[in-house]
Each structure stands twice: as structure tokens, then as C-alpha cells.
Amino acid sequence: VKKQEEDREELHKLEEMRERLIRGLEIHGTEEKVLKAMLRVPRHIFVPEYARRGAYIDTPLDIGFGQTISAPHMVAIMCDLLELSEGLKVLEIGTGSGYNAAVMGELVGQSGHVYTVERIEPLVNFARENIKKAGYENVTILLDDGSVGYSSYAPYDRIVVTCAAPDIPEPLLEQLKPGGIMVIPVGEYTQELIRIKKDNEGNIHKEKRGGVVFVPLIGKYGF
Ligand code: SAM
């Protein structure tokens, strides 16, 4: 009984920390629906056990294999730029912990779907466990080189790359639907976050959305 009480208290503490963190993201001008989605996803489930207390600090955290779970404000910025809504089909390159996929899963709802590709097998297993614990059925995690996209489920309404590419991979542009949006960090040591909109005629429009730092995209169209 004492253990159950302690667990309940710990959970309550984590929930309070989450509320404080996410409300703090309002200063970035994050849309309310993105904040609401982030309030619903328990980030502490997506970090290794030893880092739990750090889950509600606005910082990237080590998830092993030289990789990180992105900082919450970066997740918020990317989800905002993607203009996510119910029913959309999303492709993410770089699953990592699965946290960003879960937040996007909240935003696209049961009528939408998130396909997310990761190249490191133990991280695929880690993310699958996390997604299962958090209870998302609209997120599918795939083991592959995502620098070529994932043609089996293409085309996608939205594509997000959560690692830095040397250039915008051509297959990703092809797998984006007309009217679709892609967000991708491009550059070697530091990167520019680029938002790409494909219009209904298939023309590509690019916008620079600020400097960022991500781990590299490794693969055929990566470094
Ligand atoms: N979105 C993740 C999250 O919510 O935890 C964080 C992603 S982490 C910053 C970048 C990830 O991209 C790493 O897990 C890395 O292994 C993965 N990655 C790098 N190149 C890749 C590729 N070609 N295909 C798939 N994943 C790749």
C-alpha cells in the first residue's frame, strides 16, 4: 500500500512538472492545440528510467546510441510549423524515443496516422515499448533508412525530419502530397530549419524558419 501511495505521489509530481513545463512554452507563441497535445503525452515514459526527473525540463536528453530526445520547445516549434490536424497521414524520419511521434499522434487523432522511421534497431524497440506503454494505436514504427522516405505508405500529408540532412532528400519531396508540408533541418554543423510547402500544382516553396542543432541524418541521402 505504501509503495502504491509513493507511486501515486511520484506520478502527481511528474504531472505538475509537465503542466509547468508545457505552460512555459506559451512564450514561444505555440498554438493551444499543440500545447494541449503535449499536456496529454507523458514525456517521462519516453526517457530512460535514470533520466525521469529530467523529463520535464526544456532540454534534449540522452537516449543512448549517441542519440537524443529533442527538447520540448523544439517539438512544439516543429508541430506548429507542420500545421497538424485530425485525419492527416504523417511520415517522421528519426523516431528516437517515439515522443514526437506520440505528440503528432495526439494531433492527427484516430482518423489520422503517424509512420515513423528509425535506423537504429535498439531504438526502434525502445520507441515501440514507449508507444505501447503510452497507448498510441495510430503510430507505426519502422526500422529502415528513412533518408529515402518510406514509399509503401506514400504519399504523405506531412513529412518531418528530426535529424539534420545535408540537403532536402529528393524522395521525400516526391512522397509529399500536393498541398502537403515538410519540415526539415538542413546543414552540417548547425542547421537552418526549412519549411517546404508543395502547392496543388506540385510546385515547391521553401521558407527558412531559424537556426537549430540536430544529430545528423545518416543514410543514402544523408551524411
Ligand atoms: N524524434 C525523436 C524523439 O522524439 O525522441 C528524436 C530524434 S533524434 C534527435 C534523431 C534520430 O534520427 C536518431 O534516433 C537517429 O538514429 C535517427 N536517424 C538518423 N538518420 C536516420 C535515417 N536515415 N533514418 C531513420 N532514422 C535516422
Q: For 42-100, what is each residue's pLDDT tens digit?
A: 999 999 998 888 999 999 999 999 999 999 999 999 999 999 999 999 999 999 999 99
Closest atom of ligand 1 relative to the 102 alpha carbon: 4
pLDDT tens per residue, range 103-159? 999 999 999 999 999 999 999 999 999 999 999 999 999 999 999 999 999 999 999
Q: What's the mean pLDDT in 189-206?
A: 96
Q: Is 97 a catalytic residue?
A: no
Predicted ipTM > 0.95: yes
Please indicate whether residue 136, judged by its CB atom, sits closer than 6 Å to ligand 1.
no
Ligand 1 mutation target, pool 93, 99, 145, 163, most atoms within 8 A of CB: 163
C-alpha 5 – ligand 1 centre gap (Å)? 37
pLDDT of amino acid 28: 85
Measure CA of the first residue to CA of the last residue in the chain; give whole Å.
Answer: 53
Q: What is the mean pLDDT of the chain?
A: 96
Q: Is the CB of 169 under 6 A from ligand 1?
A: no
Domains and their CATH numbers in the chain: 2-212 (3.40.50.150)
